[in-house]
Amino acid sequence: MISEKLQQAINEQITAELWSANLYLSMSFYYAHAGLDGFASWMKKQSQEELDHAYDMAGYLIKRGGKALVDKIDVVPCDWGSPLEAFEQVYAHECRVSKLIDGLVDVASAERDKATQDFLWGYVREQVEEEATAQGIVDKMKLGGDAGLLLVDAELAKR
């Protein structure tokens, strides 16, 4: 059985994952409108990945005897100024998510719940990759400037 404190923390993360899914879906629409179909496709897949995280966490809670909840999902932004500014927000967002996951690990540790700690370590490792990927894309966008934007778009379309 999972503790009430840990159940609440995971449910808060489920809400955060759903918000992230909406954020990336909104970014997908933004990039599609800008004619950057590779970026739009990448964001759409990222949105699905965040939904999968929410489903996975909910499934874990249920397996441990907890109750998974969907709380209110706040409105996400819909405009970012430029394609680069949007991806800089992706990187910043992934850094925030990393801190949320680290906090969940801390709660699991304080609750002495080794099974949940083990479950969450997969997300810790994934967040390292998410941050690195987002930073790499930002770096390529900065290096390539406006001329390189279409090359990065074509690369992201391969995901």
Q: The whole model's pTM is what?
A: 0.95
Q: How far is Cα 151 from Cα 141, in angstroms, rounded to an integer? A: 9
Measuring CA to CA, how many Å separate 38 from each of 70, 134, 136, 137, 151? 31, 15, 16, 12, 10
What pLDDT is recorded for position 147?
A: 85
Taking each helix axis from N to C end, the angle separating 114-156 and 37-63, rounded to the nearest 10 degrees, works out to 170
- pLDDT, residue 151, reads 93
Q: If you write DSSP's letter for every residue of the chain in order, what string do you get? A: ---HHHHHHHHHHHHHHHHHHHHHHHHHHHHHHTT-HHHHHHHHHHHHHHHHHHHHHHHHHHHTT------PPPPPP---SSHHHHHHHHHHHHHHHHHHHHHHHHHHHHTT-HHHHHHHHHHHHHHHHHHHHHHHHHHHHHHHHHHHHHHHHHHHTT-
Calculate what percentage of the chain has a pLDDT beyond 90.
96
24-63 pLDDT per residue, tens: 999 999 999 999 999 999 999 999 999 999 999 999 999 9
Count of domains forming the chain: 1
Nearest-angstrom CA–CA distance, 22 and 80: 15
| Cα–Cα distance for residue pair 76/86, rounded to 1 Å | 13
Domain holding 147: CATH number?
Answer: 1.20.1260.10
134 in Cβ contact with 126 (< 8 Å): no
Q: How confident is the model at residue 159 (pLDDT cuts 50, 70, 90)?
A: confident
Sole residue written with tokens 């500014």 = 85
Residue 18's domain comprises 4-156
